[in-house]
Chain A
Amino acid sequence: MVNLRFIGRQISGAKRQCTVFVLSVALSMITLVSLGSFRESVESSLLRDAQSLHAADIIVHAHAAIPAALQAEIASLAGRGEIKSARFWEFYSVVQKVKGDASLLCNLKVVEPGYPFYGKVLLASGRPFQEVLTQGSLIVDQTVLDRLRIALGDALKVGNATLTVRDVLLQEPDRPVNFFALGPRMFVAAADQGSLGLIGHGSRVDHVTLIKVRDPEKLDKTAARLRAASNESRLRVETYKNAGSRVKRFFDNLLFFLNLSGIFTLLLSGFGIQSTLFALLKEQERTIAVMKALGARSRFIIGHFLGVTLILGFTGTLAGLFGSFALQRFLPTLFSGLIPAQVTLKVSAPAVAQGMLIGLLVVLLFTALPLYRLKEVKPRAIFGKEETGTLWNRSTWVIAGAGTLFFLTMVLIRLRDLKTGLYFMLALVLLVLVSYLLAGLTLRLLRGREPKNLQLRQALKGLFRPHNATLSIIVTLSAALAVIFAITLVEKNLDASFIEAFPPGAPNVFLIDIQPGQKDDLARILGPGASYYPIVRGTVSAVNETLIDPEKERRSRGDNLGREFNLTYRGHLLADERIVSGSALFRRDWPDLQVSVLDTVVKMHKMEVGDTITFRVQGIPMTARISSVRTRTSGGLTPFFYFVFPETVLSGAPHTVFGAARVDKDRISALQNRIVSLFPNVSVIDLTETVTVFGRIMARLSAIVRFFTSFSIVAGVLIVVSSVFATRYARIQEAVYFTMLGARRRFVFAVFAAENLLLGVVSGVIALLISQVGSLIICRKALGMSYRPYLVESLLLVLATTLLVVLVGLAVSVPILRQKPVAFLREQADE
């Protein structure tokens, strides 16, 4: 028999706790549905159509012209009508206005007819791409027009050719976002390739051949055939199914991180749900005892309170859905610049369904313990203080175990990575454990302290008020804050490392694709102080004679040995390098071919001094013994090389030259113009501008990360609120007693404020300690960069969070301060 009136009265009699419960559920729903919907929107708009994302069925990618054998195979297949092919070349070049000095580094794409096989290149005029991109034409990104102050119909010097701007690019199917690029996009017809004069031997050009197969069933077979036709490790033959996409990798990584943050928020919301329900049921303990005295079974009571939680959970779910829809209006602004405008962010039905299911499981999981403990309320609780048994009994362990398993499963499903999932869970457990130990130690130190100030003394005693749950509040708050502080500290260190760390005198201009014969002329223009580094392209095929699997390497999250490298040769260390292993850069007493590696390489693959690495340079295998391991002493944007050979080894190989110079900022533009006029093949990269662009993207990413992690703060705030409610009776009692004994209202206010201040400071300081250690480990070990503690900023973070805890605690305590003593005393007398 369900007593709906009882359920309704329980809810109406505990409006505050029910509101916090509903908000906690709503928060978890917003997190789940927003992230799930974002993933759906991005995948359906950008990533699901993998063929459009690659514009082809098979993609052959190399940094040089593809070998003749492979070309022949492609021609043969095309001749039989089994495939269609179209090539494009992608590279950077500085383009120049015909009239005037202005120039701009652009990301050129020279395409053959047929591109793209899938997806559409959208132009502002609405005309078909192939119709507009004829010989002598340019299709450019709007930024080119804006930066160079030109209009449609104007001409630009591109390499040795002069081409006319015909249209503006809106969308490119195989590059839906362009924030990876150092310059705006420019399309050139393949018919103009020769006249550009920019694609030569050793030029940094991506040579891509797109292939469309006539029979989709033969996709893999055709790809295998093409792979077999070329034995080059520097060449990749991939299908749209397995090809890596930078865009996809970026969004996968972003979603990966956001999912981590979402799971953390879910966990905190769960604790909010649990602590609110504990508080609500504690207040009903007498009622439950009376019901049991009248013959109600535990099953009946638990069932009705389960009804209460389900109704509240459902209300929270609806509120969360409403919140998710409202959030969708804001998300486009948050993600602007990172996703194309045509991607519509909307709440997706599968995300809603998944969110509701997970939300229900979270509610059931986190309410299991408080509901189960109703069994332990005995009828004799009517007559006095009935202390329930110890919290950590068998049922608690079982429920805690089920909860851990649930979260682990969720982590694995959402992150799709077992190893990372386990590390994440381990890190969470460690975080909570360390918070618990530090919080316990701090409280032990505080207990028994007798400050001279009466308000502070009372506040301190208030922390140890019976049933105050001070320890669990501090643990939850400090764990949540530690994550947020750590994200902030790592971000600041990243900023410093990549954007602000320009050592005085460091180069701010890079010049790429300098041909050896141009070096002396360029040196005359740049003057002394510029540095030049010979570049030979090569790949790694084996370490200690064990072959490298390039496909497997490319699947790893960070940098890997599966790509092509810029090899160089010199006989000295750079100014910001030092040797960490080995006696010298190269050993005079070794007869072997030698190579010095950067410590970053050692992180990619286990190797040490004395091991051998086999390279393929221009198709020729070359095995060298590792003579030393170097490390960089600065993390800024200065040139560095993973592999350095002695001069005698590679100086005879065809190479280009990379230049780095320090130029007065206001001279960079003029220098760029001059160099592009004289040496159209040389690209001049203004690092300060690159850093600005990169900084903008980092700022945008930070904003996104901070937005989603702020949900964790909200969850933490709800926990503070629920804890105040949990101790509401005790606080009212104290406020009434103090008032009765002659304390003014401001005294009582000051005591509550001081108590919240202590909570905030202790939580903040513990969070800071944990985050400093965590950030240090992340920066040094995971990111390989130096670490600064940013003490001032850290203290400001502690201050801000303390203020938040004080304000929230006081806001919730204000009704308590307004309580008239007589009303409370009368209630007590009636009891």
Chain B
Amino acid sequence: MTILQTRGVTKNYRIGNREIKVLDSISLEVAQGEFLVVKGESGSGKSTLLTILSGLDRPDEGRVFIEDLDITDLNEDALAPLRNATFGFVFQSFHLVPSLNALENVMFPAELKGDAGARAKAEALLDRVGLSERMSNFPHQLSGGEKQRCAICRALINDPRIIFADEPTGNLDSVNGAAILQLLLELQRERGTTLLLVTHSPEIAQSADRVVTLKDGRIVTGQRHG
């Protein structure tokens, strides 16, 4: 079943009086449970594609569908429930809330949803990733790998249908990076979550079910149509 679909997505950026086409008529389908890697050189538009697929940004042309729901023109408040319960995000820079400790960061999306079992779920997740001793530490007290594991737990707490990961190992050393990727894949398979991962690393791409390669804003390989 197709969980995510784009049709003719185009995105331009204006810098000064220059218009730069970052994505050029991208049409893409992602199946439920699929592990898709979006690969490309720096400046190929892969992060922009991820932000548009996840509703964090809007295309200038084209449509984006999440399970037949057209999210292209939804406003921020309408996108909120999707971000909270359907999507999970893992970023290169972790983006943990500095004023919350590890446990609170993980709990937060579940608390937003009104889940009374948020604490228990968060504790279980953190234990699963080996952070049970670090639950009361704040982000500035965690190492890079620990922060990313915490971010992964936060992304998973509401059992999202899709995880969007933008260069999740980009700020980690090779050992930690490999461990994080391993963890992400394990959790993805356990839960049957669809995983969209952006990277420029060919090694990471090797683990994917499918690899989509972008170049100059266009898909050059790996595109799948309905």
Contact with B along A365-402 (1 / 0, CB 8 A): 00000000000000000000100000000000000000
A740-B92 in contact (CB<8A) = no
Instruction: Judge if A707 is at the interface, Cβ distance under 8 Å.
Output: no
Question: Which residues of A lie under 8 Å from residue B140 when comparing CB positions?
Answer: 385, 466
B83-A742 in contact (CB<8A) = yes
Question: Which residues of A lie under 8 Å from residue B99 when comparing CB positions?
Answer: 461-462, 464-466, 730, 734
A742, A820, A825 pick with most chain B CB within 10 angstroms: A742
Give the distance in Å from the alpha carbon of A831 to the alpha carbon of B140 in the complex.
18
Chain A residue at minimum C-beta to C-beta distance from B98:
A466
A744-B51 in contact (CB<8A) = no
Give the distance in Å from the alpha carbon of A743 to the alpha carbon of B84 in the complex.
7
A741-B98 in contact (CB<8A) = no
Instruction: Judge if A406 is at the interface, Cβ distance under 8 Å.
Output: no
Give the distance in Å from the alpha carbon of A734 to the alpha carbon of B105 in the complex.
11
Least distance between A218 CB and chain B CB atoms (Å): 79
Stretch at the interface among B32-40, B109-117, B199-207: B109-117
Contact with A739, one of B51, B80, B96, B166 (Cβ below 8 angstroms): B80
Contact with B along A713-743 (1 / 0, CB 8 A): 0000000000000000010011011111111
A737-B95 in contact (CB<8A) = yes
A742-B81 in contact (CB<8A) = yes
Question: Which residues of A lie under 8 Å from residue B111 when comparing CB positions?
Answer: 454
If the complex has contacts A737-B95, A822-B57, A829-B47, are A742 and B100 also in contact, measured as CB distance less than 8 A? no
B100-A461 in contact (CB<8A) = yes
B97-A742 in contact (CB<8A) = no
Instruction: Judge if A821 is at the interface, Cβ distance under 8 Å.
Output: yes
- Contacting A at CB under 8 A, from B46-100, are 47, 51, 56-57, 76-77, 80-85, 89, 91-93, 95-100
Give the distance in Å from the alpha carbon of A462 to the alpha carbon of B98 in the complex.
9
A829-B80 in contact (CB<8A) = no
Give the distance in Å from the alpha carbon of A608 to the alpha carbon of B82 in the complex.
83
A741-B81 in contact (CB<8A) = no
Number of interface residues of B (CB under 8 A): 32
Give the distance in Å from the alpha carbon of A715 to the alpha carbon of B113 in the complex.
41
Instruction: Judge if B154 is at the interface, Cβ distance under 8 Å.
Output: yes
B80-A742 in contact (CB<8A) = yes
If the complex has contacts A737-B97, A740-B89, A742-B112, are A821 and B56 also in contact, measured as CB distance less than 8 A? yes
Question: Which residues of B lie under 8 Å from residue A828 when comparing CB positions?
Answer: 91, 93, 95
Question: Which residues of B lie under 8 Å from residue A736 when comparing CB positions?
Answer: 95
Give the distance in Å from the alpha carbon of A738 to the alpha carbon of B89 in the complex.
12
A740-B98 in contact (CB<8A) = no
Give the distance in Å from the alpha carbon of A745 to the alpha carbon of B77 in the complex.
7
Give the distance in Å from the alpha carbon of A342 to the alpha carbon of B93 in the complex.
70
Contact with A742, one of B51, B56, B109 (Cβ below 8 angstroms): B109
If the complex has contacts A462-B99, A730-B98, A822-B56, are A829 and B112 also in contact, measured as CB distance less than 8 A? no
A741-B112 in contact (CB<8A) = yes
- Contacting A at CB under 8 A, from B164-178, are 166-167
B112-A740 in contact (CB<8A) = no
A829-B92 in contact (CB<8A) = yes
B91-A742 in contact (CB<8A) = no
Instruction: Judge if A694 is at the interface, Cβ distance under 8 Å.
Output: no
Give the distance in Å from the alpha carbon of A821 to the alpha carbon of B52 in the complex.
12
Contact with B76, one of A454, A466, A739 (Cβ below 8 angstroms): A739
Least distance between A446 CB and chain B CB atoms (Å): 13
Question: Which residues of B lie under 8 Å from residue A325 when comparing CB positions?
Answer: none
Question: Which residues of A lie under 8 Å from residue B47 when comparing CB positions?
Answer: 826, 829
Give the distance in Å from the alpha carbon of A124 to the alpha carbon of B133 in the complex.
91
Least distance between A608 CB and chain B CB atoms (Å): 62
B97-A734 in contact (CB<8A) = yes
Question: Which residues of A lie under 8 Å from residue B113 when comparing CB positions?
Answer: 742
Give the distance in Å from the alpha carbon of A170 to the alpha carbon of B97 in the complex.
71
Chain B residue at minimum C-beta to C-beta distance from A742:
B84
Least distance between A450 CB and chain B CB atoms (Å): 10
Question: Which residues of A lie under 8 Å from residue B112 when comparing CB positions?
Answer: 454, 741-743, 747
Supplied contacts A740-B89, A744-B80, 5 more A-B pairs, CB within 8 Å = A737-B96, A741-B108, A742-B82, A826-B47, A828-B93
Can you show 15 pairs from A to B with CB atoms below 8 A apart?
Answer: A385-B140, A454-B111, A454-B112, A462-B99, A465-B98, A466-B99, A739-B76, A740-B56, A741-B83, A741-B109, A744-B80, A825-B95, A826-B51, A829-B47, A829-B93
Q: Which 6 A-B pairs have the closest CB atoms?
A: A742-B84, A742-B83, A822-B57, A461-B99, A465-B99, A822-B56
